[in-house]
A and B are shown apart, each in its own frame.
Chain A
Amino acid sequence: MNRKGVFRIFDHLVLVLVSIVMIVPIYWVLKTSLTGENLFNYPPSLIPRNPNIYYFVDVYYWIPFLRYFFNSIFVSMIVVLANILFNAMAAYALRFKFPGKKLLIVTYLGLMMIPFQATIIPAFLLTKYMGLLNSYMGLAFPLASTIINIFVLKAAFDSIPGSLFDAALIDGMKEWKILFQIYIPLSKPAMATNIILTFVWSWNNFIWPLIIISNKDMQTLPLGLSTFLSYFENTSGQMYAFVIMVIAPIILVFFMNQKRFMSGMISGAVKG
């Protein structure tokens, strides 16, 4: 075997190892959700013994799972729709040359460096003054537009030839029509990236719902999970079953849009 072949095998071994390291925790969560086996059991068993779905049944009945699920879905839908609308408009505006454009972009990039925790108090006060505490709009508010997704869309919009825009203008199309009928349909991968990222961020959001939600019926799944953990002890099976129930929709959304997501990320990387 030549040197190139040896390196190729080595590359694959490293990739397999990294894949195992990534997959094992998820496999462990899934296995524990089906067996309820204690995490610290020794020796640990790799293959599930007597798997059953009873822990999922427990979670379904001992917390208002469907209510939390609906809340999470509804808030995520608002966030996704708001992101599509606002990010597309912002990215469209950034296509044009205007005074202070560079400063605006630098400001955007600078704002990305500020952690959300640092802006929680003003965000909370704003939400309170708008009367959005304990509401779906309040939950969706901080994620309604995300800077990173604006840049992903901007990169996609930049790759669309300017002549297309000129032709549309000459044909008498309004700007909003150009955006929604030309730019957005031609940027499907970037839109898919927008949808997946914002859905995942909204779905996993924990700190913001924890701060603004005091009504039990308005809790989202991550908040429900934390409440569940605070109520019950020594419930490995139920806890892991809950985790699987929380992450399953995200995994499903990702797999359903995997191809577009990847190409959207790549187009963003090349053009950004």
Chain B
Amino acid sequence: MKLFRWTCALIRGSIANSIVIFVIVAAFAGWMAFVYLNNDGVITGVVVDGSGHPVSNARVLVREKTLQLIKPPIGTDTNSKGVYRFKDMKIIEFLISARKDGYKSPEPVHYHLYFKGQHFKVPKPLVLTKE
């Protein structure tokens, strides 16, 4: 009972306020530190064909989306394993698509990141189907 009363007093009193402020500041500082350590802006993923095999030399295009407009695309090519990799992408929202001659391009896929320059691995492969 005494412990319960003490706990209630703690929650009501200024110690509780100090704890709340400390938790908020610590959470914010922790988040900023995490952002600082993970903002290399690398976006990676895989391009595959309809049967799930990697597609090499496919052109992958990323268009940054802002609240007002969609910016011109930035492109890179996939390697022999179908992997693409963008560097220094200081963006938070984008559309990604792939294209290659002889293949039908998929609809651009929309992703939103939690902070600018987030190291992001595109969860679903971009699928190119043969024409």
Contact = CB atoms under 8 A, between A and B. Distances in A.
Interface of A: 52-54, 57-58, 61-62, 231-232, 235, 238, 252, 256-257, 259
B114 A58 contact: no
Interface of B: 12, 17, 20, 24, 66-68, 92-93, 112-116
A52 B12 CA distance: 32
21 contacts: A54-B93, A54-B112, A54-B114, A57-B92, A57-B112, A57-B113, A57-B114, A57-B115, A58-B67, A58-B92, A58-B93, A61-B92, A62-B66, A62-B67, A231-B68, A232-B67, A235-B67, A238-B67, A252-B20, A256-B17, A256-B20
B48 to A, nearest CB: 27
Given A57-B115, A256-B17, 13 more contacts: A52-B112, A54-B93, A54-B112, A57-B112, A57-B113, A58-B67, A62-B66, A62-B67, A231-B68, A232-B67, A235-B67, A252-B24, A259-B12
Nearest to A54: B112
A232 B66 CA distance: 11
B124 to A, nearest CB: 17
A238 B66 CA distance: 12
Nearest to B21: A256
A172 to B, nearest CB: 32
4 cross-chain pairs, A with B, having the tightest CB-CB distances, nearest first: A54-B112, A256-B17, A232-B67, A62-B67
A61 B116 contact: yes
Contacts of B113: 57
A252 B66 CA distance: 31
Nearest to A228: B67
A238 B67 CA distance: 9
A109 to B, nearest CB: 34
A81 to B, nearest CB: 18
Nearest to A232: B67
Contacts of A238: 67
Nearest to A62: B67
Contacts of B17: 256-257
Contact of B68 (A54, A232, A256): A232
A53 B68 contact: no
Among A54, A231, A235, A238, residue most surrounded by chain B Cβ atoms (within 10 Å): A54
A58 B20 CA distance: 26
Nearest to B24: A252
A54 B92 CA distance: 9
A259 B14 CA distance: 11
B67 to A, nearest CB: 5
Nearest to B14: A256
B30 to A, nearest CB: 16
B40 to A, nearest CB: 17
Contacts of A252: 20, 24
Contacts of B67: 58, 62, 231-232, 235, 238
Nearest to B90: A61
Contacts of A57: 92, 112-115
A52 to B, nearest CB: 8
